Amino acid sequence: MKNSFPLTGISSVAIHASGHDNANFAHLTPIYATSTFTFDTAQQGWDRFAGADKTTIYSRWGNPTFTTAEETIAALEAFELTGDDGKPLQLKALLHASGQAAMATLFLGTLQAGDTILSHFSLYGGTHELMLKVLADTGIKTTIIDMRNLNLVEEAIKKDPSIKLVHIETPANPTIRCVDIEAVTLLAKQKELLVSVDNTFATPYLQQPFKYGVDFVFHSTTKFLNGHGTAIGGVLLGKDLELMRTSIWKWHVLLGGNSNPFDAFLLTQGMKTLELRMERHCHNAMVVAEFLAKHPAIHHVNYNGLDTHPDYAISQKQMRHPGALMSYELKGGLEAGQRFIDALQMCVRAVSLGTVDTLVSHPASMSHASLKKEERLTYGITDGLIRMSVGIENIADILTDLEQALKRV
């Protein structure tokens, strides 16, 4: 950071934490569309490979456009936090081609055959499939429990010495369940286990998991961090800088899941308005949740900002606002839900989340279609459940669209 005083707000950090001087005085970090970087002399090449000169060498290993995005995310996640040494928390962020690539780096960079991940249900579908269909084949197992029951967490950790990593996703799809990051981390740290948090739904503006002593934070940057639905991307952040430089780096670079300069540029631009967008997303979501909860055609609403939600207290404790994701079921079940989705005129029918526009999807046939029906039901994903990512449109128009669609079910 160039300034001599600490920045006191998230928007200032998002806009000014990074940005690289360049030969042509460009205001914004340019899209460095280049695979390789030149050396003036053999000695310079030598110094760069030895690490004495930090200039980038080859874009799979890093690129100035990635660096700007990585430094911004690291500054946001570390905002106003201190490390174990009492100094401002230092984080290393590695940008990836997708959330899935960053997740693969996290698991492969920290675990070996014979190790077990402890996690909870209603994980993002891709994470769940990565664990069951890919990691299982490499000998890395996963145990899934309900982590909102801390006794189950304690019991699982005590019983199974092969557990090495506790992976938390909070809030999680599509019933917006929350896990107490602080309580679970305390239990994990009694056994010196690693803890990772998927912070995609919350973003660092709403929730900073490093505050509770976790080791890694993950984001699908595809969602709120980019914010406009223009690119797929992922990031893995770690506070053990040595581990990030060694084992994590090795998997990231050798599997080749690097980002690309154009997507990294879009991400950097998107993050500058994170605070403004999240304030509006969350404000709109609260109004929509209250409107739906009172509507006679709605059976129930899952939104962690309503005090009827089972995880209301956890979310109030660890989140600035409850977020922009919710799900609900119509009294008429699946058929009514389908008629409702088809009748929407402004809200957009699409999977994904965290874009400026309101997105509506049907988990049972889309994001969670790979799960067996019984499994879906234990996670609260009934056939008629509708998932909504509330956008930043003007609230009156969102309500008008929902109202007219609900009249037609």
Ligand X SMILES: *Cc1c(COP(=O)(O)O)cnc(C)c1O
Cβ proximity to ligand X, 66 vs 201, nearer residue: 201
CA distance 264 to 95: 8
Cβ proximity to ligand X, 185 vs 220, nearer residue: 220
Nearest to 359 by CA among 375, 344, 339: 344
First-to-last C-alpha distance (Å) of the chain? 54
Cis peptide before 322 (omega within 30 of 0): no
Give the x/- contact pattern for ligand X in 18-57, rule: CB under 6 A: ----------------------------------------
Q: Does 220 bind ligand X (CB under 6 A)?
A: yes
For residues 110-169, which are near ligand X according to CB under 6 A?
A: 124, 126-127, 169
CA distance 126 to 117: 15
Residues binding ligand X: what is the number (CB under 6 A)?
A: 15
List the strands of the sheet with 141-145, edge to edge.
Answer: 92-96, 234-238, 216-220, 194-198, 163-169, 116-120, 141-145
Q: Say how many C-beta atoms besides its own lie within 10 A of residue 401's C-beta.
A: 18
Q: Does 263 bind ligand X (CB under 6 A)?
A: no
- In 14-132, DSSP assigns E strands to 92-96, 116-120
For residues 65-104, which are near ligand X according to CB under 6 A?
A: 98-100
CA distance 209 to 196: 9
Q: Shortest approach of ligand X to residue 172 CB, angstroms? A: 7
Cβ proximity to ligand X, 203 vs 284, nearer residue: 203
Q: Does 234 bind ligand X (CB under 6 A)?
A: yes
Q: Shortest approach of ligand X to residue 98 CB, angstroms? A: 3
Q: Shortest approach of ligand X to residue 97 CB, angstroms? A: 8
Cβ proximity to ligand X, 103 vs 336, nearer residue: 103
For residues 178-217, which are near ligand X according to CB under 6 A?
A: 198, 200-201
Q: What are phi and psi of 56, to 5 degrees?
A: -65, 155
Q: Quick check: 346 and 219 in contact, CB under 8 A?
A: no
Cβ proximity to ligand X, 128 vs 340, nearer residue: 128
Q: What are phi and psi of 308, to 5 degrees?
A: -80, -15
The residues pairing with 217 across neighbouring beta strands, listed in sequence order, are 197, 237
Q: Say how many C-beta atoms besides its own lie within 10 A of residue 52's C-beta.
A: 9
Taken as a whole, the chain contains a residue count of: 409
Q: Shortest approach of ligand X to residue 385 CB, angstroms? A: 17
Shortest-Cβ-distance residue relative to ligand X: 99
> Please, which residues have CB within 8 angstroms of residue 70's CB and are 6 or more apart in sequence?
18, 93, 94, 95, 235
Cβ proximity to ligand X, 265 vs 340, nearer residue: 265
Cβ proximity to ligand X, 340 vs 367, nearer residue: 367
Cβ proximity to ligand X, 223 vs 376, nearer residue: 223
Q: What are phi and psi of 35, to 5 degrees?
A: -80, -30
Q: Shortest approach of ligand X to residue 226 CB, angstroms? A: 9
| The one among 164, 177, 211, 223 contacting ligand X by CB under 6 A | 223
Nearest to 258 by CA among 60, 45, 36: 60
Cβ proximity to ligand X, 26 vs 369, nearer residue: 369
Pairing mode, strands 234-238 and 298-302: unpaired
Q: Shortest approach of ligand X to residue 145 CB, angstroms? A: 19
Q: Shortest approach of ligand X to residue 102 CB, angstroms? A: 8
Q: Shortest approach of ligand X to residue 353 CB, angstroms? A: 6
Q: Quick check: 139 and 114 in contact, CB under 8 A?
A: yes
Q: Shortest approach of ligand X to residue 302 CB, angstroms? A: 16
Residues near ligand X, by CB under 6 A: 98-100, 124, 126-127, 169, 198, 200-201, 220, 222-223, 232, 234
